[in-house]
Amino acid sequence: MGDPDRWPGRTAGPPAALPARAGVGRGDLRRHRPGRLAQRRRRSALAALGPERTVRAEPGHVPAPAPRAGKEERMKFAKAHGLGNDFILVERGSCPAEAAPWARRLCDRHEGVGGDGVLVYLVQDGRVHMRLINADGSDAEISGNGVRCLAAWAVSRGLVPPRHVVQTVPGPRPVAVEAVGGARYRVATDLGPAILASRDIPVRLDPPRDRVVDHPLEAGGETVRITATSLGNPHCAVFVDAPPDDARLARLGAALESHSFFPRKTNVEFVSVPSRREIRVRFWERGVGYTRASGTGSASAAVAAIVKGLADRNLRVVCDGGVLEVEWPEGGHVHQVGEVEVLFEGEWLADTSR
């Protein structure tokens, strides 16, 4: 994992100014509305994989909650965000067997807590086990911002030390958490190796290739060239001269997300490169839609820029929500540093079955 004190971001200057159009809920961007959650009818992109079971506790590992006298036990939750990419944190014992409708209700921004996803966690043997359920109810392998949010919250509650491991579907992700004031934390994460081979991302290429760079695809009524990578979840980078407006982001992002080239669907990054030490990225996330930031998306965009020879191996990624620092040493793991904020904790009172 290396020494987090030597990871990127320790001496970074102030964040670059964001463009005037950067923000949430602008133009045609998809939002969560009551009864109209984004893509709620689509089949889970990962339903056939079931990888989250590899880190799920066996029956009996999570004791049943003790009921209150005369009252049904209420589900406790916490809310945190990384640069505006927000999550609801719920202990695994409160997650129902039919998790998709439950997660959709919690993520609803009008009739729920509101979030880009639910992080179902279990703290066991000094590790934090994480399952990510997207806002549309589909399971996903990992979220870089989610890892950092969960790590910071677990440290804030004294459940684990500042240096610990978050166990995700793709594998263990070591973290180092540093309090920076109030409920804000700076978290360094080892995101593991960058995956570049077409079979492993995966994408549909015959014959397979060691790298997928500037591959042409027809999507959203235009031809775009994509560079595909993975950090345990699939990503597709489209390099553009300037950040796309909201309408193009929504149109092309949705078309690429569900393109047949990606058997597990994909996350989409629109990347512009103002300098070799900084890239500007806007995101369309699989199972969510537009997000203000993405942890693995930022790291994957950086990897794609490095693979294309456009950026140095230590750089800043400017998102709509703020800045993340990414480093990818030659032959090494991808490291990322960024802030998160723990917002509040609460109890859910309503029925989640509808």
Where in the chain are the domains? 51-191+341-348, 193-332
Separation of CA 8 from chain center: 20
Work out the pLDDT band at 29, boundaries 50, 70, 90.
low
The number of beta carbons lying within 10 Å of the beta carbon of residue 69 is 5
Residues 6 or more apart whose CB falls under 8 angstroms from that of 155 comprise 161, 162, 164, 177, 179, 185
Is the pLDDT reported for residue 112 higher than 70? yes
Work out the pLDDT band at 5, boundaries 50, 70, 90.
low
Residue corresponding to tokens 């820029």: 305
pLDDT value of residue 7: 53
Is the pLDDT reported for residue 280 higher than 50? yes
Q: What are 282-299's pLDDT values in tens digits?
A: 999 999 999 999 999 999
Top-confidence residue, 59 or 350: 350
CA separation for the pair 157, 165 (Å, rounded): 16
One fold for 51-191+341-348 and 193-332: yes
pLDDT value of residue 71: 53
| pTM of structure | 0.82
Secondary structure (3-state) at 285 = strand
CA separation for the pair 90, 87 (Å, rounded): 10
- Is domain 193-332 annotated with CATH 3.10.310.10? yes
Top-confidence residue, 257 or 61: 257
Q: What's the chain's average pLDDT?
A: 86
Domain 51-191+341-348: state its class. Answer: alpha beta
Which among 242, 249, 244 has a CA at the least distance from the CA of 28?
249
pLDDT value of residue 352: 74
Q: What are 177-200's pLDDT values in tens digits?
A: 999 999 999 999 999 999 999 999
pLDDT value of residue 73: 77
- Contact, 321 vs 315, CB < 8 A? no
Q: What are 59-90's pLDDT values in tens digits?
A: 343 344 444 444 567 999 999 999 999 999 99
- Contact, 39 vs 287, CB < 8 A? yes
